[in-house]
């Protein structure tokens, strides 16, 4: 018969957490976010970066066996592209905790004089 799993005891009312990175982990730049409530009452957030669209095709000249300057490019999209880099779904409790954590980090940056809200304003929908 298998032994029942024992609960890990903590000392002094503390518990230790270790952080590990998922295999798909990566750093994502966010220029803004889009989202809202889900049908189950959770919060959905898509973080995006915006940038000019990539051309569909670029043609360069070849001069003396070397790549020369750009001769033409095919550009059908106008405006900007918003590329979603990460999507997060969280419970209301986690969203409140995230807000408190974020407010604290914003306060640290602001107090250190590192934040310029006008210049670094993220867009959101």
Q: Does 121 reside within a domain?
A: no
Q: Does 84 reside within a domain?
A: yes
Percent with pLDDT over 70 in the chain: 82
Whole-number Cα distances in Å, 53 to 36, 59, 74: 26, 17, 11
Residue 1 has pLDDT above 80, yes or no: no
Residue 111 has pLDDT above 60, yes or no: yes
Cα dihedral sign, 17-19-23-27: positive
Q: Does 42 reside within a domain?
A: yes
Residue partners of 50: CB distance under 8 A and separation at least 6: 31, 32, 80, 81, 82, 83, 123
Question: What's the mean pLDDT when you consider all of the chain?
Answer: 86
Q: Does 110 reside within a domain?
A: yes
CA-nearest of 106, 123, 104 to 114 is 106
CA-nearest of 45, 50, 67 to 58 is 67
Domain count, the chain: 1
In DSSP terms, 124 is beta-bridged to 33
| Cα gap 18→34, rounded to integer Å | 31
Supply the pLDDT for residue 48.
97
Supply the pLDDT for residue 72.
87
Q: Does 90 reside within a domain?
A: yes
13-22, 28-37, 60-69, range with greatest mean pLDDT? 28-37
Q: Does 112 reside within a domain?
A: yes
Average the pLDDT over each of 37-46, 77-86, 115-124 and give the range with the smallest value: 115-124
| Cα gap 105→115, rounded to integer Å | 11
Q: Does 123 reside within a domain?
A: no
Q: What is the pTM of this model?
A: 0.66
| Percent of the chain that is helix, strand, coil (3-state, to 5) | 15, 35, 50
Range of the domain at 106: 32-116
Q: Does 44 reside within a domain?
A: yes
């Amino acid at each position: 018969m298998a032994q029942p799993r024992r609960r890990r005891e903590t000392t002094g009312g503390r518990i230790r957490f270790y952080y590990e990175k998922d295999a798909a982990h990566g750093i994502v730049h966010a220029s803004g976010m889009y989202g809202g409530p889900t049908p189950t009452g959770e919060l959905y957030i898509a973080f995006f970066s915006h940038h000019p669209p990539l051309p569909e095709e670029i043609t360069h000249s070849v001069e003396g066996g070397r790549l020369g300057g750009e001769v033409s490019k095919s550009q059908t999209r106008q405006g900007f592209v918003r590329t979603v880099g990460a999507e997060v779904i969280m419970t209301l409790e986690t969203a409140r905790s995230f807000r408190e954590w974020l407010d604290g980090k914003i306060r640290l940056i602001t107090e250190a004089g590192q934040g310029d809200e006008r210049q670094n304003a993220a867009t959101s929908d």
